Structure 1
Amino acid sequence: MPDDLQLLLQPDYLPFRLDVAEGRLLLLRLSTQQRTDAAFLDERVCAGRPAGAWVPWQAAEEASLRCADLPVNWIFHIGHCGSTLLSRLLESPVQHVLREPLALRDLASAAVVGACPEDRLGPYLQALSRLWARPVAAHGSTLVKATSSCNALVGPLLATRSDDRIVLLDMPLRPYLATLLKSPASVKDALAAADERWQLLRRAWPDAQLRSPQSAGEACAMGWLAEQVRFEDIARHDGRALRVDFERMLEQPRDTLERIVVHLRLAHETTDSAMSSSWWNRYAKAGEHAYGIEDRLHDQRLSMSRFTGEIERGIGWVRAASASRAA
C-alpha cells in the first residue's frame, strides 16, 4: 500500500487505464512533453515502453482524497468535429491538456454495458479528476478532451464536480456527414456508437416514429441527432456547459474563442495565443502534416460531391425523425 500511494501521489504517473471489473488502475509515467505530443492518450503512447504499474482502485480513491480538489475543464464532442484542434489552441504553459485519456473511455464503456452502476460513476469521475488535475511542471490548470464515446458521462460529471466547466463541441449536419463519409475509419467510429445513440434518442423522443437507419449516412445522421438532443438538454439545464459550433469557430475564430476562454475562466491572453497558433495550419492529430482551413474546405467539397446521395439520405432521415416527433 505505501508503494501504491507513493506512485499515485507523483504527478508524472498518469492514471492511464481503468479496469472496473477487476477494481484496478494502471499508472503510466509520461512526461509533460509526451502528454503534449499525444493526440490520443491510449495504447499508442505505450510504444516508448513507459514505466507503469497497476494499483488497486481503492488505493487510487484514497490517494485522490489527498490531492487538492482543483477544477478541471473538459471538451466533449460528437466526434471528428475539430476537438483536437480546439484542445491544441487552448494548450499553454499554464494549462495541462490530456487528449482522450483511455481511463475515461474505459469508464464510459463500463457504464454503457452496465458493468459500472450509475451511482458509482460519480466516485470514479471524482477520483480520476483529482488525480489528473495534479499540477505537472508549471501547469496550474487541466483540460481533458474526451473521446466522443464518453458523452454519457457529462451528466454524472456535472452532478459530481461542481466547479468544473465543459465545452460541448459539434457542427451542422451536412458538413458533419461529409467529414465522416470521406473516412472509413470515421464511419466505423460512428457505427460503433450507433446503438447507444439510438437508445438515447428513443428515450428522449418516446412518442416519435423513428425508423431504424438503413445506411451508413442514415446511421451517422441518427448519431448526430442523438448528440444534438443530449447536448441541448445539458446546456439548457446547466450553465457550466457551453455549446460551441466548430464551423462557426472557423468563420469567426476570435469571437468564438473569446466565449470559450471566458467560459473556462482562462487568462484573457489565451485568446491572442490561440489566434496566433501554428496549429491553424497543421493537422491537429499529426502536427508534422500541413493542413489549413482551405485544405479542410477543399476535402469537404470533394466529399459532398462524392457522397451526395448518402448525405441526402442522412439529412432526410433527420427531417423525417424530427417531423414524426412534431406530429
Structure 2
Amino acid sequence: MAVGDLQSQQYLRAAFPNFAASPELHVLQLDPYREAAVVIGMSEADYRDASFLTEALATPERLGAPIPLFRVLEAVENAGERRPVHFIIHQGHTGSTLISRLLDEVGGFGLREPWALLTLAELYDKVGKPDSLVSEAEYGRIRDAMMGVWARRWRDGQQPVVKATSHAGRIGEDLLKSRASSKALCLNLKPEPYLATLLAGENSPIDLRGFGPDRVRRTIAAFGDVTPPMHALSVGELAAMAWLIERESQWRLLHSDGLKTRALDVDFEAFLADPQAILSRIAAHFDMNPGENAIREAVNGPVMNRYSKATEHGYSADLRRQRLDEARRTMAGEIGKGLKWLENAAGKSPYAREILNDAG
C-alpha cells in the first residue's frame, strides 16, 4: 500500500469530504496506540470480491494512508443520521461467508470480517480494567464511530451487513445495544456436525490452539471451573470449547430482553435443507425486500456452488457432506472426546447445561 506518498495524500484529500456517507474509503485498521486509523480506497467490486477485510488488502497497488483517529470520529459524528448496520454473529465454519455473499445478491452490502472489529473487541475486553488503553467513554465514542463507518452504503435501500469473525462475535451484544436499528443473525450448528466440520479442516488444530488460551479464559469467566487446563485438552475438546463459548455469545443476544426480538437464530444445516425459504427469512430480518424471484435466482446461482472464502474453487452441499462423513470416520475418537467435554461442562455449570440442552 502506498501509505503516505503524495499520490495517496492527494487521493485522500479528494475522497475524505464524502467519508461519512460513502464506503469509498474503508477503515482498514484502528491503531489506538498511535491514535490513528489506516484508510484505503475500495470500490463496490472490491468489497464484493473480498472474503476478508484484513491486512491482505494493503497491497502496493491500493491507495491508502494513515490519518489521525479523531478525523474519523469527527467525520462520522458530524454526519447526523444513524443508519442501521446489521451483523452476522457465528460460531465459525457455519456458512457465514456463504450467507454474506448470498445477501450481496439480494440487496445487502457485505463487509466480511473487518480487521477494525477485532481491535474494537480487544478494546472492549479491557474497558474498566487498570490496563485499559481507553476509558469507557472513549471506547463508546470509537465504537459508535465504527458503527457509523460500517453503516455507509453505495445506494439508497442497500443494507450493510458486517460478518464478524467468530472470535469478535463476543461483543455482538454491546454493538446491538449501541444502535437500536441494528439486528443480528446468529448462525450456528449443533455440536456433533460442528465438531465434524472443524475437525475436517487441515488447519483446524493450529487455529484451535491459537485461539485456545483466550477461549479458556472466556469459558471460565462465563461458566466457572468447567475445563481442564488447555495443555491437557485434545483438538476435539478444544473444538467443543469453541462451540460452547461462541454459542454463548449468541445466547446473550437471543435471550436478552432488550435484544432478542432483533436476533434471528439459524442452524446452517437447516439453511442447506431449504436455502430459498431460510434466505428469504434472513433477508426480511435485515429489512431487505428483494422479492422471491431474486431469492430464487440467488440460491440457484453460482454463489451456492463456489467455495465462499476462495471463489475460484468449486464447492457444494454434496461435497460438504462427503467431507463431514470422512471426518466422522477418521476423527470419531476426537468427536467423541469433544461431546464428552460438553457433557462434563454441562454437569458442572447450569448455564452451560441450558445452552447445550437447547441445541438438542
1:107 and 2:120 are equivalent in the alignment: yes
> Does residue 216 of structure 2 align to residue 205 of structure 1?
no
| Structure 2 unaligned blocks of 5 or more | 1-11, 127-131, 354-360
Deviation of 1:241 (Å):
1.6
- Give 1:147's aligned residue: 165
Q: 1:170 aligns with which of 171, 185, 188?
A: 188
Provide the C-alpha distance between the structure 1 equivalents of 2:112 and 2:337, rounded to a whole number of angstroms: 33
Q: 1:306 aligns with which of 330, 344, 348?
A: 330
**Partners in 2 of 1:216 and 1:93 — Cα distance?**
38
TM-score of the aligned structures, taking structure 1 as reference length: 0.91
Bigger mean CA deviation after superposition, 101-110 or 15-24: 101-110
Deviation at 1:103, TM superposition (A): 1.1
5+ long unaligned stretches in structure 1: none
Q: Give the Cα separation in 1 of the matches to 2:277 and 2:229.
A: 39
Task: Give the SS at the match of 1:148.
Answer: coil
Tell me how far apart the structure 2 counterparts of residues 131 and 218 of structure 1 sit (CA, whole Å).
38
Partner of 1:55: 67
1:222 maps onto 2:241 in alignment: yes
Q: How many residues of Structure 1 are paired with residues of Structure 2 in the alignment?
A: 326
Deviations 1:36-69 (A, max 9, x none): 0010111222236211111111111110023332
Residue in structure 2 matched with residue 72 of structure 1 by the alignment? 85
| Structure 1 match to 2:96 | 83
* Distance in 2 (alpha carbons) for counterparts of 1:48 and 1:285: 22
1:186 offset after TM fit, Å? Answer: 3.0
User: Relative to structure 1, is the Cα distance of residues 5 and 91 closer, same or farther in structure 2, using a 3 angstrom cutoff?
Assistant: closer
Residue by residue, what CA displacement relative to the aligned partner does 1:210-246 show, whole Å, maximum 9, x if unpaired? Answer: 3335111111111211122231122111121222111
Instruction: Pick which of 64-73 and 264-273 moved more.
Output: 264-273
| Displacement of 1:140 | 2.6
Counterpart contact for 2:28–2:55, Cα < 8 Å: no
When structure 1 is superposed on structure 2, of 251-260 and 107-116 the one drifting more is: 107-116
Work out whether 1:284 is the aligned partner of 2:301: no
Shift of 1:81: 1.2
The structure-2 alpha-carbon separation of the partners of 1:51 and 1:246, relative to structure 1 and needing over 3 Å to count, comes to: same
Contact 1:190/1:220 (8 A) holds in 2: yes
Q: CA separation of 1:110/1:271 partners in 2, compared to 1, >3 Å: closer, same or farther? A: same
Please name the residue that 1:254 is paired with: 276
- On the 8 A contact 1:71/1:163 being kept in 2, the answer is yes
The one of 214, 236, 256 aligned to 1:196: 214
Secondary structure of residue in 2 paired with 1:142? strand
Please tell me whether residue 240 in structure 1 is matched to residue 254 in structure 2.
no
Written as runs of structure 1 = structure 2, the 5 A alignment for 1:2-17 is 3=13, 5-6=16-17, 8-9=19-20, 11-17=23-29
RMSD of aligned residue pairs (Cα, Å): 2.4
1:268-283 to structure 2, matched below 5 A, reads: 268-269=290-291, 271-283=295-307
**Compared CA separation, residues 185 and 118, structure 1 to 2 (3 A):** farther
CA distance in 2, matches of 1:264, 1:122: 24
Kindly tell me: are residues 190 and 140 of structure 1, through their superposed partners in 2, closer, same or farther at Cα, counting changes over 3 Å?
same
Partner residue in 1 for 2:343? 319
Asked whether the 8 Å contact 1:32–1:137 carries over to 2, the reply is no
